[in-house]
Copies of this chain bind each other. A is one copy, B any other.
Amino acid sequence: MKIVFQGERGAYSELAAKEYFSNSNRFVAVPEFSDVYDAVHDGKAKYGILPIENSLAGSIHQNYDILLKGDAIIVGEIYLKVSHYLIANEGVTSKKIRRVYSHPQAIAQCKNYLTRFKDTEHIPVSNTASAVKKIKKEKMMDAAAIASMQAAIDFNMRVLGRRIEDLDNNQTRFIILGNKPKRLSAKEQDIKTSIVFSLKNIPGALFKALSVFALRDIDLYKIESRPVYGKNFEYLFYLDFAGNIDNDIPEKAINHLREITTFDRILGSYHVGKVVHPIYQKR
């Protein structure tokens, strides 16, 4: 099967995909997050993987927005423990570093560690593995990248700092995109459903929306609001709740919710994901 992820070889998305799917599949990098969605939606790939939330930095909002592009659905999730490494070209020492390249979230997660490098510029790039690729390609001798150990292995680079993140409970939640629902064998409480909706402009609208779940003892995992594109300060709500949309009570809750929504869509029901540590390997 072809599985697409955003970024370069060694990106956290690839590590997560390899934990979720068996290693024998074909993992293909694409440049943008929206390319992941499009490849799945257009049938060019069987599955795609997108980071959606980090335990420290919060939601990756652009990927919430991408979920509304077409008909692809969420068929799974996985939580990857993230550890960052400071990576540089051979011959570069910590003292020489004047620039650090990485994804802005990775830079933010290593903020305390980075204070030891005085007069150093932090330069945002679109993903962590690209940062390693860039400093290697341009043979930078005064720069380092923050990325995964896998990126250091893949690009054959020197590791100057290990597990440099400020806090050690750093996890990223990835969602698996597909084209058709999977059959779900787990118990109801081990299944999660993601929906998105916008609400009529009535008093207490959000309170009423949440009541359709609370009144049925349905647990919520997460709620996230995003502005509706092109409408001033109107919001879309992304909500994850416990249960399978194919079952009676969750379905009744959604029908109740529809009494006050102006728009809604079920993004998918899927098994609650496991937390995994990445396994690094020589390729």
Contact = CB atoms under 8 A, between A and B. Distances in A.
A219 B203 contact: yes
**Can you list the 5 inter-chain pairs with the closest CB atoms, starting with the nearest?**
A207-B214, A204-B214, A207-B210, A55-B232, A58-B227
A217 interface: yes
A64 to B, nearest CB: 9
Contacts of A223: 206, 225
Interface of A: 53-58, 61, 124, 167, 169, 171, 203-204, 206-208, 210-211, 213-214, 217, 219-220, 222-227, 229-233
A225 to B, nearest CB: 6
B210 A55 contact: no
Given A55-B231, A207-B220, 5 more contacts: A58-B227, A169-B230, A169-B232, A203-B217, A207-B210
Contacts of A124: 124
Given A56-B230, A57-B227, A211 B207 contact: yes
B213 A207 contact: yes
A229 to B, nearest CB: 6
A208 to B, nearest CB: 8
Nearest to A227: B58
Contacts of A54: 227
Given A213-B207, A217-B203, A233 B55 contact: yes
A171 B224 CA distance: 21
A55 B226 CA distance: 10
A169 B213 CA distance: 34
Contacts of A206: 210, 220, 223
Contacts of A55: 227, 231-233
